[in-house]
Amino acid sequence: MSRRVMITGLGAVSGLGLNAHAFWDKLKAGQTAIKPLNPPIEGVKISIGATVPDFDPESYFTADELSILDRFSQLAVIAAREAVDDAGLVPGEETLTDAAAIIGSGCGGKHTDEDTYDQLYKQQKSRAHPLTIPKGMPSAAASMVSMHLGIKGPAFALASACASGLHAIIQGMTMIQAGMIDVALVGASDAPFTYGLLKSWDALRVASSDTCRPFCFDRSGLVLGEGAGMLVLESEEHAQARDARIYAELIGCGMTSDAGHITRPDVTGITNAMTNALQHAGIQPEQVDYINAHGTGTQANDETETNAIKQVFGDHASKLAVSSTKAMHGHALGASSALELIATTLAIYHGIIPPTVNFTTADEACDLDYVPNEAREQDINYALTNSFAFGGLNAVIALKKHN
């Protein structure tokens, strides 16, 4: 048994705004959310990022609710509410009650953990706040999404660093294909702008002090972002029975691990992930019109990803469009992969390819069509979205336009 899986609801919180409409409007306009951190964080080299703008948690949650919501859970619940509402589902009704909630995260409740550690280590307090564990645990967002939306089916968190979102979406997708569930709320959330985490990213020496320039000769590294991307997935029969709007179809997935280096990407692992996704989808490389690349803007990723695309697609590599939307919404760790699937979905739905912004000088080692700086109107029948995580955990999803 393998059932077809449709995307029927979208929710996006990111540096580009607090909903999917703002996300898409700014993506297609080529606007970047990357800006100086305000206020700057003293003692941290990282001074730029794509933080969620004008975010007032109290306009979304009561004080009582906020007492148990880490920032990554707040972003997850806001995006989940939007996705559910967008899909026309109603909390309390059977469809949502029986659904799954599978929510990835690259870093979990770091704000909560670090607040407590600051109290204990720096301020020499003798007591930890009693809500530290339930608020900060990596599965807190999954729990909060299920509680706020009344989802009583399978609910859990999934962690694979920057691929967490795609792995969570693949989990929901395959559960629907297998007939275990009809509806899944899937995605990821991350809120990495904490002192300790930024210092740790500083130490990795992969963060740009300039901006994110994926695939450019003068690319200087990644720029962190925060946010949450959530999707409602539904079996075709279920979606059609309730006459749901279908954005696109998930037709295949590929997952591999490099079993090599903890941070350096591996062209074989990435190549195999894309090949597996095409095979699972039952399509030929020549049918793919667009790839939403992992495209972090680091030296290592962008060249390796380009080489992998060439290996998988051969002559077709130079004909298909490849863009990285990270230059606009930043690298929101696990949430990025979910946000990028949403970007790919909307690209297919609207027939517009979001650009790779901040593109300046081409790199001989990165010589594909990266849709530089301006969005392109183009019909997309098939697309891939790539996510490759630290630790060599690779995930690729293939999508198809719904006719």
Q: Which stretch binds other proteins (CB under 8 A): 38-46, 124-132, 242-250, 279-287?
A: 124-132
Does the protein bind other proteins through residue 67 (CB under 8 A)? yes
b/e 257-289 (16+ beta carbons within 10 angstroms → b): bbeeeeeebbbebbbbbbbbbbebbebebeebb
Helix (H, G, I), strand (E, B) or coil at 380: coil
Task: Choose among 312, 334, 347: nearest CA to 388.
Answer: 334
Work out how close the CB of 67 gets to other proteins at its nearest, in angstroms, rounded to a whole number: 7
Rounded distance, CA 61 to CA 106, Å? Answer: 24
Does the protein bind other proteins through residue 4 (CB under 8 A)? no
Work out how close the CB of 276 gets to other proteins at its nearest, in angstroms, rounded to a whole number: 44
Does the protein bind other proteins through residue 64 (CB under 8 A)? yes
Torsion of CA 173, 228, 117, 134, to 10 degrees: -50
Work out how close the CB of 189 gets to other proteins at its nearest, in angstroms, rounded to a whole number: 22
State yes or no: is 331 an active-site residue: yes
Q: Which residues contact 203 (CB under 8 A, 6 or more apart)?
A: none
Does the protein bind other proteins through residue 129 (CB under 8 A)? yes
Closer to other proteins by Cβ: residue 66 or 267? 66
Count of Cβ atoms closer than 10 Å to residue 246 Cβ? 17
Does the protein bind other proteins through residue 130 (CB under 8 A)? yes
Q: Where are the alpha helices (DSSP H) in 30-185?
A: 63-66, 71-86, 94-97, 110-117, 132-136, 140-149, 164-177
Q: Which stretch binds other proteins (CB under 8 A): 63-71, 142-150, 287-295, 378-386?
A: 63-71
Closer to other proteins by Cβ: residue 54 or 64? 64
The kind and range of the H/E element at 7 are strand 5-13
With CB under 8 A as the contact rule, the residue among 2, 39, 59, 127 that binds other proteins is: 127
Work out how close the CB of 142 gets to other proteins at its nearest, in angstroms, rounded to a whole number: 18
Rounded distance, CA 116 to CA 166, Å? Answer: 30
Closer to other proteins by Cβ: residue 22 or 131? 131
Q: Which residues contact 53 (CB under 8 A, 6 or more apart)?
A: 15, 17, 33
With CB under 8 A as the contact rule, the residue among 1, 36, 58, 63 that binds other proteins is: 63
Work out how close the CB of 131 gets to other proteins at its nearest, in angstroms, rounded to a whole number: 6
Work out how close the CB of 126 gets to other proteins at its nearest, in angstroms, rounded to a whole number: 9
The one catalytic residue among 111, 148, 162, 253: 162
Q: Which stretch binds other proteins (CB under 8 A): 61-69, 252-260, 262-270, 376-384?
A: 61-69
Does the protein bind other proteins through residue 58 (CB under 8 A)? no
State yes or no: is 162 an active-site residue: yes
User: DSSP for 188-199?
Assistant: EEE---SHHHHH
- Which positions are catalytic? 162, 294, 331
Residues at the site binding other proteins, with contacts judged by CB under 8 A: 63-64, 67-68, 127, 129-131, 134
